[in-house]
């Protein structure tokens, strides 16, 4: 079937997201799927029990537009407890259908035709299309390999009167790097006396390793007052399929956010919000996540020590980059496809996170997997 007149695409250069492509290729080839980031183990039975409880109790109609008050209150307590920042649940917290929706909503609420938005590459793939759909112009800066840190001198050079937004992401997908307090101080200095809004994608806030502390922009009052902070229950509670997250921001920003949110999704899943509100009261449920995933990272990289892949252990997220310079000269997209088809292991080629498809011969592997999956995967990788 075809629409009879010609459609001029609003996103002419965008195809299907790499996560969908690689997950499908993994399924079609019966490969171990370390591409799209999601756990292959179950979430807590207690949490599932709570969702059931609230469904059976009849909490099955629309939640308030901004989210269930009880959930917003525990989010406020969590944010204050962790980052000493106070957000008013009434006016400054909104529950969303996952991180991606929150990011899209924040960008849409702020960016207008001709506004410039700075993003750092390799960049998670949902930022640029959201900027473009809103008529904004994406300004691409590159993180400095091998640590994938921000070059603040470069940021200073590109900031001008059209700069409306800077999008940061820590812990960083796809590289696993983290931003430091000194990064935040530099961001604060550069945005001082400007009207720049920050979108801080912190969906991996609890997945941080080796004793590092997550540097949320919430810890820095001067940054927090110009920032949308995005978080995800999917990452934190092993429930990516529930599509639940939230955004916190000062009232004037949140007012604009909600104007978009109410016509994008109106409100999100009611029984799950009840369940999360209760489950979040036990802080261990999120505070234990760093050590839980650090064990998985260590298990995976120990198994890879005998392989020809080179790597720097990730500081956060559940992704590990592996460099295959020592194995092949193939393009990373070709190599990722070949690994899936011939070796039965799927990953994400890093070049897709660069608008110029820069190929550093690196692939991203998700280690949010059972030990047996990691063993099988490493067994294959060590033979390549």
Binding site residues, ligand GLN, CB under 6 A: 17, 19, 36-37, 100, 173
For residue 28, the minimal CB distance to ligand GLN (Å) is 17
In whole angstroms, what is the distance from residue 107 CA to residue 117 CA? Answer: 9
**Closer to ligand GLN by Cβ: residue 124 or 279:** 124
The string of DSSP codes covering 172-196 is PTTT-----HHHHHHHHHHHTTS--
DSSP 83: H
Compare residues 304 and 350 and give the one whose CB is closer to ligand GLN.
350
Minimum CB separation from ligand GLN for residue 324, in Å?
19
| Shorter beta-carbon distance to ligand GLN: residue 17 or 91 | 17
How near is the Cβ of 81 to ligand GLN at its closest, in Å? 26
Q: CB of residue 203 vs ligand GLN: minimum separation in angstroms? A: 8
For residues 27 and 182, which CB has a smaller minimum distance to ligand GLN in the complex? 27
User: Smallest distance, Å, CB 348 to ligand GLN?
Assistant: 7
The token pair at 384 is 């390549």
Q: How many CA atoms lie within 13 A of 36 on its CB side?
A: 16
Structure tokens at 233: 């229950």
Q: Regarding beta strands 116-121 and 137-142, do their DSSP bridges make them parallel or antiparallel, or are they unpaired?
A: parallel
Which of 214/243 has CB closer to ligand GLN?
Answer: 243
Quote the least distance from Cβ 174 to ligand GLN, whole Å.
7
Pairing between β-strand 163-169 and β-strand 197-201 as defined by DSSP bridges? parallel
- 173 or 320: whose CB is closer to ligand GLN? 173
What is the number of alpha carbons within 13 Å of residue 120 lying toward its C-beta?
26
Number of H helices, E strands in the chain: 15, 12
* Two structure tokens written together for 197: 């809004």
């Amino acid at each position: 079937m075809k629409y009879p007149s010609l459609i001029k695409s609003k996103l002419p250069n965008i195809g299907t997201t790499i996560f969908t492509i690689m997950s499908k290729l993994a399924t079609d080839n019966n490969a171990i799927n370390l591409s799209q980031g999601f756990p292959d183990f179950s979430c807590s039975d207690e949490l599932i029990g709570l969702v059931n409880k609230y469904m059976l109790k009849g909490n099955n109609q629309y939640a308030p537009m901004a989210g269930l008050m009880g959930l917003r209150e525990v989010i406020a307590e969590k944010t204050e407890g962790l980052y000493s920042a106070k957000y008013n649940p009434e006016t400054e917290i909104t529950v969303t259908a996952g991180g991606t929706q929150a990011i899209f909503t924040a960008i849409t609420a702020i960016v207008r035709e001709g506004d410039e938005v700075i993003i750092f590459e390799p960049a998670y793939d949902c930022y640029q299309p959201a900027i473009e759909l809103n008529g904004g112009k994406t300004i691409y800066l590159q993180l400095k390999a091998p640590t994938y840190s921000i070059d603040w001198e470069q940021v200073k050079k590109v900031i001008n009167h059209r700069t409306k937004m800077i999008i940061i992401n820590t812990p960083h997908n796809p590289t696993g790097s983290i931003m430091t307090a000194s990064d935040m101080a530099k961001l604060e200095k550069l945005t001082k006396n400007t009207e720049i809004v920050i979108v801080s994608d912190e969906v991996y806030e609890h997945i941080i390793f080796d004793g590092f502390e997550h540097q949320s922009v919430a810890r820095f009052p001067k940054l927090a007052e110009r920032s949308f902070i995005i978080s995800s229950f999917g990452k934190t509670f092993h429930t990516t399929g529930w599509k639940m997250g939230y955004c916190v921001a000062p009232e004037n920003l949140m007012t604009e956010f909600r104007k978009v949110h109410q016509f994008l999704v109106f409100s999100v899943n009611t029984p799950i919000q009840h369940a999360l509100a209760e489950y979040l009261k036990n802080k261990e449920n999120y505070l234990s996540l760093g050590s839980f995933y650090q064990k998985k990272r260590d298990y995976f990289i120990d198994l890879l020590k005998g392989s020809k892949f080179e790597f720097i252990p990730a500081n956060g997220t559940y992704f590990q980059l592996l460099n295959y310079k020592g194995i092949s000269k193939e393009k990373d997209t070709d190599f990722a496809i070949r690994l899936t088809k011939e070796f039965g292991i799927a990953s994400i080629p890093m070049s897709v996170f660069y608008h110029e498809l820069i190929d550093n011969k690196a692939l991203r592997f998700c280690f949010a997997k059972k030990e047996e999956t990691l063993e099988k995967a490493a067994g294959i990788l060590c033979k390549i």
